[in-house]
Structure 1
Amino acid sequence: MKITDQYFDGIAAKFAKNIYGTTKGRLRHMLLIDAMMPFLANGPSKILDIGGGTGVMTKTLADLGHQVTLTDASEEVLTLAREMLADTPDVTIVQQTLDQAADLHSYDFIVCHAVLEWLARPFDAIDLIFQNMAPGKLLSLSFFNRDAALFGNALYGNFDYISRGMKVKNQVRLNPDNPLRPAEVIQHAEGTGFSVESITGIRCFHDYMKEKPSSDAVFDQLVALERQYNQTPPYCWLGKYIHLMLRKSAES
């Protein structure tokens, strides 16, 4: 089965509800902010949010005082983003695919979260970003962890699914087509010329819980546990998503 780039026209509202209307979406967002904050501590930055979807991350970054450009391939998704960001200053919204984002040199910080796993050629996307961003600048990269997906399916006894390479005939459009192995992404990024500044597991425990947090108190306990262990092996490698902070060499 040929893998093609996947966008969210036709299911934008469902996407927003499923991703951000749950504890898993709320937790993912919090932990991604945690992972980025040490690298945004030197004052306002000019940020590009590639594949920024409905604008949740863009809004948080703009509210922190950064100047943010949000791009996404889906016009339907961007309609939701424009509604969310209508009263948010210092935000620009552009409809374009990642391979159309050629001029990245003017940005201090590039965000590319949960994009690679929807692309037919994700490693080409890493190359493109590297080639077009300015030396010394940072890329905040997160992606769906294939290793964690396999582990989770084994816990639920989905052995036939695993034996098929975790592929189904009728792919659910909210399930990524192309999850990635962290070791392969890190190897490729370093081979391209990035240095890895940090590695963080996103939702190292949440997705394996038999019962998801049923109260704010339990959720807060879970957040504390995630924050305690999400940069510590082996737990960081169990994150449903992996976050890498990558820096392009100043000599590149």
Structure 2
Amino acid sequence: MKQTPSTPPRPDRNFDDLAERFSRTIYATARGQLRLQALQADFNDLNIPLAGSQVLDIGGGQGQFSLLLAQQGAHITLCDISAEMLTLATDQFAAAGLSLTSQQCALQDCARVFPQQYDVVLNHAVLEWLEQPLEALTLLAQRVKTGGWLSLMFYNLHGHQWRQLMNGRTHSPGSANPHLRDHGNAPQHPLDPDVVQQQLQQLGFELQRWRGIRCVHDHMHQKIRDRIGQPAVSAADLEFGLLEPYRRFGRYVHFLARKGEQA
């Protein structure tokens, strides 16, 4: 019996071709600034110690949030699959007069490249680009010290589906466009936060913070945002992003989880 050749797995997304575009369309925009504000607020609220801490930023891209932590005394090691992203991160740290240890590698290679464990591990807006996103949680967990912190931000299934419905895609709100997966910056593997939380618990982590990011901003009409002003929009997003059920409609979810003694 003739066997049909299996389709080779898709490689994980590399952003060499989009590095400069990300700088313009994400990090230099109101939504990008809101993301950084939300992440910083969570770290502040939970009093996560940063001075002298060892931080590993996996898939850290241009290092915007890592730079904020470095300015608070953290020692940053950053890796990314994209050489262009690493160049931008190195330039940013150099411009700020701060040191950065960087290495080009994929998330799946972190155990080999960084065998030690860290006080804080960051993984922001990475899982949704992986072909097997949930499998990566075990790899991330292994890099966190006992008592250490995992900061996990991922593209939210509920926010994605709600946005699709509001755009009239009632026939298939959970589907994604393969063309955007290959040529744009639209994530193609949104994750259910309840599933991610369950996986983290099984890996020995206790969830300390669940925030929805852009749960107000992205669902408010641009004319309304212009009328009330971005500061008011951001303040509402930061407030309601911590509340049920609104946090479930964020385009992104931020989890801060602490690794227990038995992990």
Under a length normalisation based on structure 1, what TM-score does the superposition of the two structures give?
Answer: 0.91
1:24 alignment counterpart: 31
- Paired residues of 1:104 and 1:129 also in contact (CA < 8 A): no
Separation (CA, whole Å) in 2 of partners of 1:179 and 1:20: 20
1:227 alignment counterpart: 238
1:174 alignment counterpart: 185
User: Against the structure 1 CA distance between its residues 41 and 136, is the aligned structure 2 distance closer, same or farther, given a 3 Å change threshold?
Assistant: closer
1:153 alignment counterpart: 164
Match of 2:257, SS? strand
Q: Given residue 223 of structure 1, which amino acid in structure 2 is its aligned partner?
A: S
- Paired residues of 1:5 and 1:118 also in contact (CA < 8 A): yes
2:89 alignment counterpart: 81
Q: Given residue 134 of structure 1, which amino acid in structure 2 is its aligned partner?
A: K
2:251 alignment counterpart: 240
* The 10-residue stretch of structure 1 (76-85 or 87-96) with the greater mean CA deviation from structure 2: 87-96
Under a length normalisation based on structure 2, what TM-score does the superposition of the two structures give?
Answer: 0.88
Separation (CA, whole Å) in 1 of partners of 2:154 and 2:103: 22
- Paired residues of 1:104 and 1:133 also in contact (CA < 8 A): no
Q: Given residue 64 of structure 2, which amino acid in structure 1 is its aligned partner?
A: V
1:134 alignment counterpart: 145
Deviations 1:122-148 (A, max 9, x none): 111101121332211110001000111
Deviations 1:26-65 (A, max 9, x none): 1111111111223444351211111111121121111122
Specify every segment of 5 or more residues in structure 1 that has no aligned partner in the other structure, as ranges: none
The size of the alignment, in residue pairs, is 249
Match of 1:5, SS? coil
* The 10-residue stretch of structure 1 (1-10 or 171-180) with the greater mean CA deviation from structure 2: 1-10
Separation (CA, whole Å) in 2 of partners of 1:47 and 1:131: 14
2:199 alignment counterpart: 188
Match of 1:110, SS? strand
2:64 alignment counterpart: 56
Separation (CA, whole Å) in 2 of partners of 1:54 and 1:43: 20
* The 10-residue stretch of structure 1 (202-211 or 170-179) with the greater mean CA deviation from structure 2: 170-179
Separation (CA, whole Å) in 2 of partners of 1:249 and 1:41: 15
Deviation, 1:69, is 1.1
Correspondence 1:112 to 2:123: yes
* The 10-residue stretch of structure 1 (116-125 or 131-140) with the greater mean CA deviation from structure 2: 131-140
Match of 1:122, SS? coil
1:4 alignment counterpart: 11
User: Against the structure 1 CA distance between its residues 41 and 185, is the aligned structure 2 distance closer, same or farther, given a 3 Å change threshold?
Assistant: closer
Separation (CA, whole Å) in 2 of partners of 1:41 and 1:104: 23
Structure 1 runs (4+) greater than 4 angstroms displaced: none
User: Against the structure 1 CA distance between its residues 39 and 47, is the aligned structure 2 distance closer, same or farther, given a 3 Å change threshold?
Assistant: farther
Correspondence 1:198 to 2:205: no
Deviation, 1:173, is 2.6
- Paired residues of 1:200 and 1:244 also in contact (CA < 8 A): yes
Correspondence 1:95 to 2:104: yes
Deviation, 1:251, is 2.4
Deviation, 1:120, is 0.9
Over the aligned positions, Cα root-mean-square deviation in angstroms equals: 2.0
2:43 alignment counterpart: 36
- Paired residues of 1:204 and 1:235 also in contact (CA < 8 A): yes
Deviation, 1:243, is 0.6
Larger Rg: 2
* The 10-residue stretch of structure 1 (139-148 or 186-195) with the greater mean CA deviation from structure 2: 186-195
- Paired residues of 1:3 and 1:177 also in contact (CA < 8 A): no
Q: Given residue 150 of structure 1, which amino acid in structure 2 is its aligned partner?
A: Q
Specify every segment of 5 or more residues in structure 2 that has no aligned partner in the other structure, as ranges: 1-6
